[in-house]
């Protein structure tokens, strides 16, 4: 069968994302969490005092907040948290060019099959390996334009005032338990600054990978898109398969100023034992436009709701998400839009696919504050079940305090139909191919928004996940 | 080479998991290059026969055999039957949102090639464009999602487009004429005739309620299905008789047996 042939040719077999590169960290903290660990992290990063204080305060907030009772099953998470490493630093220094990147790490990228989507655009890539940025290069023209795209650590060290002005302003420490945890132990991530009026044509890409067993990944990304600026940031990651539960809890903060446009694209494919609890939020000012494009595959439990806080008049927020829940996986995803200014508009489009004992939930919030006259929001969520055992549910929360607002919500659940399968098979496609084609068609409205290489990669990942789902 | 293209013997079938038989002993031979029309009242089992030939999993064959080019196909999956050369133009084609006709057909064409082989993109595009022109379809149609939001007539035309691209040895056309306007009927019929001219061995089993299409596609044989059996077979004139007299006389004849 041609499709299988292609997959073999490319070496995209099931275990592809499950290999381990021998890991040689320069510094590895002891497992578990304590204020000592937090001090060590801050010390190692040679941070200013205010950041150490910030971290320690965040740790207190983390301890004081109970585990969320909603979303997915977090009952085993506390045990996991006792065992993971909260910090890991594979290298002392940031790499300046691709030639300086150690062979072992290049091998990792090689095995990940990065060519299509990432390596090609390496000129503009910051890739995160373990907790730190190990590779970093910036197109000269961007530097000339004043664009900053570096590791979050460098952002803090080199642009302390700018950093401090925005850091934790979009996602405050006390926002939720995991935002507090991230604030205490964050490590790695990107710092991006797009100056006023600058339009960055090539997407800024970060590819990273969690590579040490039981290692927590607490990436932190801060993005500031100044007035009238435009940019697209892409982050994708794959994690290897491990037997113990692992944990990922990132915080992404984005400020989109007046008239600016920003798009943040993530494709995540975590190993099946990963808890993935991420806070992604954008503050969208007057006439600005923010788009989240979010693909979630793998993990044991993902809880992720990209948010747009529409704080300026005519601000627009868009959230497009695709989730794939295979056996033993729970994807609790969706989006939040907060309309806090007049004539703000938003669109949430969510597509989920569940298979076997997989479960996908759409969880969304649409809030319109009093005074946000003429706000318009539309939510569309479609779930596709691949078999009888998979499950999906929808939790739309709508809070409207403004009577001129108009809100639309549409939800559909469909099962891959026997008639559809038979139709495709009667044209020569085998059952797996037919199933994959129906799924590809289902996610097409979102996939077509992705750069081509990413759309191809997303389709391939989903096909890999689906292998063995039939016959 | 004397074996028939399609040979059905004593075929009995029912809906999987249910009791009542729908096909109750069907016998039918189609030789290479022949056109057979299959007529009969609503609910007599014509579509069921078509779907059983194509291997629909909803039906269970309880007795009899279906030989295609001398090979028993009952154990074959629908995709294997398709690749072997059996094509079914559906009475009610399924909708596949998000999948373009071009993409779908390219995948179907590639599924017929050996492992690792792929039809070159331009060659495929040329074939597709040519067949669409033959069926007077707007070129933009190739980018539309398979049957998604198609009108009844567009769906039928799309079925014949697929047959033209996939070039089967046997085409089972289930009421492809229903829902077509007079011009569309002519276009589709002449499309089928062109396929027959291009491949003289092409066998066609044409399920229809109306003599109209048989004016354009001349049948070698006409069969009438009544209550799960072929109750009567004859030449093209049988269709005229049915058009004029309906099925009453046959009902009476069947009841008398
Ligand atoms: N999947 C099914 N489940 C239940 N009943 C079925 C199924 N398929 C066919 N039948 C029944 O079998 C009988 C024959 O149906 P079939 O569709 O083959 O008729 P037909 O001759 O094609 O009719 P028409 O001329 O109306 O298209 C009908 O009574 C129909 O309801
Ligand atoms: Mg029928």
| Rounded-to-integer distance, Cα A203 and Cα A192, Å | 12
Q: Which one, of A307, A305, A256, A311, lies nearest residue A281 by Cα?
A: A307
Question: pLDDT value at position A318?
Answer: 97
| Contact between A2 and B118 using a beta-carbon 8 Å cutoff | yes
Q: Which ligand is nearest to the CA of B90?
A: 2
In angstroms, the Cα distances linking B40 to B32, B44, B229 are: 23, 6, 10
Q: In whole angstroms, what separates CA B188 from the centre of its chain?
A: 13
Q: Which residue has the tokens 């793998």?
A: A298
CA of B159 to the centre of ligand 1 (A): 20
Q: CA-CA distance, B233 to A58, in Å (whole number)?
A: 86
Strands (E), A240-344: 246-248, 251-256, 261-270, 274-284, 289-298, 301-304, 307-310, 316-325, 330-339
Question: Considering only alpha carbons, which residue of chain B is nearest residue A5?
Answer: B116
DSSP state of A263: E
Ligand 1 binding pocket mutation candidate from B39, B44, B56, B89 (most atoms within 8 A of CB):
B44
Mean pLDDT across the stretch B14-30?
A: 95
Q: What is the nearest CA distance from A414 to chain B, expressed in angstroms?
A: 12
Residues of A whose CB is below 8 A from B115: 1-2, 5
Query: B45: Cβ below 6 Å to ligand 1?
Result: yes
Lowest mean pLDDT among A185-189, B73-77, B85-89: A185-189
User: For ligand 1, is residue B208 a contact (CB within 6 Å)?
Assistant: no
Closest to B111 (Cβ–Cβ): which among A2, A423, A440?
A2
- Which of chain B's residues have a Cβ under 8 Å away from the Cβ of A423? 90, 93-94, 96
Which residue from B minimizes the CA distance to A423? B94
Which CATH superfamily, name and number, covers B6-94+169-256?
A: P-loop containing nucleotide triphosphate hydrolases (3.40.50.300)
**Mutate which of B13, B18, B40, B47 for ligand 1 pocket (most atoms within 8 A of beta carbon):** B47
Q: How far apart are CA A373 and CA B123, in angstroms?
A: 56
How far is ligand 2, taken at its centre, from the CA of residue B90, in Å? 9
In whole angstroms, what is the distance from residue A63 CA to residue B96 CA? 50
According to the model, what pLDDT value does residue A88 have? Answer: 61
User: Quick check: helix, strand or coil at residue A317?
Assistant: strand
**List of chain B residues whose C-beta atoms are within 8 Å of the C-beta of residue A417:** 94
Locate the ligand 1 atom nearest the alpha carbon of residue B22 and give its number. Answer: 12
Tokens representing residue A34 in the block: 């304590």
Task: Let me know: does B178 contact B213? Beta carbons within 8 Å.
Answer: no
Cβ atoms A192, A151 nearer than 8 A:
no
Averaged confidence pLDDT in chain B: 93
Question: Phi/psi class of residue A41: alpha, beta or left (left: φ > 0; alpha: ψ in -120 to 50)?
Answer: alpha
> Residues A262, A267, A268, CA angle at the centre, nearest 5°?
130
- Asked if A441 and B166 come within 8 Å (Cβ–Cβ), the reply is no
Position B205 scores a pLDDT of 98
B166 touches chain A (CB under 8 A): yes
CA–CA separation, B193 and B207 (whole Å):
16
Query: Which residue on chain B is closest to A448 by alpha carbon?
Result: B98
Length of chain A: 471
The domain segmentation of chain A, as residue ranges, is 3-466
Contact A9 B116 (CB under 8 A): yes
- Give the DSSP H or E segment for A205: strand A204-209
From chain A, pick out residues whose CB is under 8 angstroms from the CB of B81: 426
3-state secondary structure of B257: coil
B124/A contact by beta carbon, under 8 A: no
pLDDT at A237: 54
Contact call for residues A427 and B158 (beta carbons, < 8 A): no
CA of B43 to the centre of ligand 2 (A): 7
* Interface contact A422-B57, CB threshold 8 A: yes
Chains A–B, number of C-beta pairs less than 8 Å apart? 92
Closest-CA residue, ligand 1 atom 28, reads B43
Domain ranges of chain B: 6-94+169-256
Q: Which ligand is nearest to the CA of B59?
A: 1
B44, B26 Cβ separation under 8 angstroms: no
Ligand 2 being an ion, which residues bring their Cβ within 5 A of it? Answer: B 46-47, 91
Quick: pLDDT tens for A241-277. Answer: 444 557 888 999 999 999 999 999 988 777 777 888 8
Output the tens digit of pLDDT for each of chain A's 471 residues.
333 332 223 222 233 333 344 445 455 556 678 899 899 989 989 999 999 999 999 999 999 988 877 777 887 777 777 777 666 655 443 444 555 555 655 555 555 554 434 443 332 334 444 334 433 445 566 788 899 988 889 899 999 999 999 999 999 998 888 999 999 999 888 899 999 999 988 778 765 434 433 344 788 999 999 999 999 998 765 544 444 557 888 999 999 999 999 999 988 777 777 888 899 999 999 999 999 999 988 888 999 999 999 999 999 999 999 999 998 899 999 999 999 999 999 999 999 999 999 999 999 999 999 999 999 999 999 999 998 899 999 988 899 999 999 999 999 898 888 899 999 999 999 999 999 999 999 999 888 888 776 777 778 778 777 875 443
- Minimal C-alpha gap between B123 and chain A (Å): 18
């Amino acid at each position: 069968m041609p499709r299988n042939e292609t997959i073999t040719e490319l070496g995209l077999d099931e275990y592809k994302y499950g290999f381990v590169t021998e890991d040689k960290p320069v510094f590895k903290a002891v497992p578990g969490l304590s204020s000592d660990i937090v001090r060590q992290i801050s010390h190692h990063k040679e941070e200013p005092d205010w950041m150490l204080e910030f971290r320690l305060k965040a740790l207190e907030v983390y301890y004081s907040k109970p585990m969320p009772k909603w979303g997915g099953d977090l009952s085993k998470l506390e045990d996991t948290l006792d065992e993971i490493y909260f910090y890991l630093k594979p290298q002392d220094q940031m790499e300046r060019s691709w030639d300086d990147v150690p062979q072992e790490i290049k091998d990792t990228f090689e095995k990940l099959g990065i060519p299509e989507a990432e390596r090609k655009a390496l000129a503009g890539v910051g890739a995160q390996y373990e907790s730190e940025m190990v590779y970093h290069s910036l197109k000269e023209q961007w530097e000339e334009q004043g664009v900053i795209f570096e590791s979050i650590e460098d952002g803090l060290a080199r642009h302390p005032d700018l950093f401090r002005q925005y850091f934790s302003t979009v996602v405050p420490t006390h926002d939720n338990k995991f935002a507090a945890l991230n604030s205490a132990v964050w490590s790695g991530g990107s710092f991006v600054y797009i100056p006023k009026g600058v339009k960055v044509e090539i997407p800024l890409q970060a590819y990273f990978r969690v590579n040490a067993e039981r290692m927590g990944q607490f990436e932190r990304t801060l993005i500031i898109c100044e007035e009238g600026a435009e940019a697209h940031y892409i982050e994708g990651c794959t994690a290897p398969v491990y037997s113990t539960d692992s944990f990922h809890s990132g915080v992404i903060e984005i400020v989109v100023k007046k008239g600016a446009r920003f798009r943040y694209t993530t494709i995540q494919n975590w190993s099946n034992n990963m808890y993935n609890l991420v806070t992604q939020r954008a503050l969208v000012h007057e006439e600005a436009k923010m788009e989240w494009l979010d693909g979630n595959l793998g993990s044991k439990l993902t809880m992720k709701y990209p948010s747009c806080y529409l704080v300026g008049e005519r601000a627009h927020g868009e959230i497009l998400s695709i989730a794939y829940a295979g056996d033993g996986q729970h994807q609790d995803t969706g989006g939040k839009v907060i309309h806090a200014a007049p004539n703000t508009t938003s669109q949430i489009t969510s597509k989920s696919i569940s298979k076997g004992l997989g479960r996908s939930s759409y969880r969304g919030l649409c809030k319109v504050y009093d005074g946000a006259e003429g706000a318009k929001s539309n939510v569309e969520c479609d779930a596709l079940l691949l078999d009888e055992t998979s499950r999906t549910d929808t939790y739309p929360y709508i809070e409207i305090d403004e009577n001129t607002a108009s809100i639309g919500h549409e939800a559909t659940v469909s099962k891959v139909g026997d008639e559809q399968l038979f139709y495709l098979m009667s044209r020569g496609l085998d059952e797996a191919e037919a199933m994959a084609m129906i799924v590809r068609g289902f996610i097409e409205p979102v996939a077509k928004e992705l750069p081509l290489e990413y759309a191809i990669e997303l389709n391939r990942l989903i096909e890999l996940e689906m292998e063995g789902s039939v016959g | 080479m004397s074996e028939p293209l399609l040979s059905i013997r004593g075929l009995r079938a029912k809906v999987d998991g249910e009791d009542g038989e729908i096909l109750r002993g069907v016998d039918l031979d189609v030789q290479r290059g022949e056109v057979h029309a299959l007529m009969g009242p609503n609910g007599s089992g014509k579509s069921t026969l078509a779907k059983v030939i194509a291997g629909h999993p909803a039906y269970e064959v309880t007795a009899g055999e279906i030989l295609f080019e001398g090979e028993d196909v009952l154990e074959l999956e629908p995709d294997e039957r398709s690749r072997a050369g059996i094509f079914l133009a559906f009475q009610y084609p399924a909708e596949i949102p998000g999948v373009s006709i071009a993409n779908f057909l390219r995948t179907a064409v590639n599924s017929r090639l050996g492992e690792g082989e792929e039809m070159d993109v331009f060659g495929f595009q040329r074939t597709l464009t040519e067949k669409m022109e033959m069926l007077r379809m707007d070129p933009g149609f190739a980018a539309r999602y398979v049957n998604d939001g198609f009108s009844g007539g567009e769906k039928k035309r799309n079925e014949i487009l697929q047959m033209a691209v996939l070039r089967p040895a046997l085409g089972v056309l289930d009421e492809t004429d229903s829902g077509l306007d007079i011009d569309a009927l002519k276009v589709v019929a002449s499309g089928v005739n062109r396929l027959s001219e291009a491949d003289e061995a092409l066998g066609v089993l044409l399920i229809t309620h109306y003599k109209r299409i048989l004016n354009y596609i001349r049948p070698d044989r006409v069969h009438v299905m009544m209550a799960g059996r072929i109750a009567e077979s004859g030449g093209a004139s049988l269709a005229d008789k049915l058009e004029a007299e309906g099925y009453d006389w046959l009902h009476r004849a069947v009841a008398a047996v």
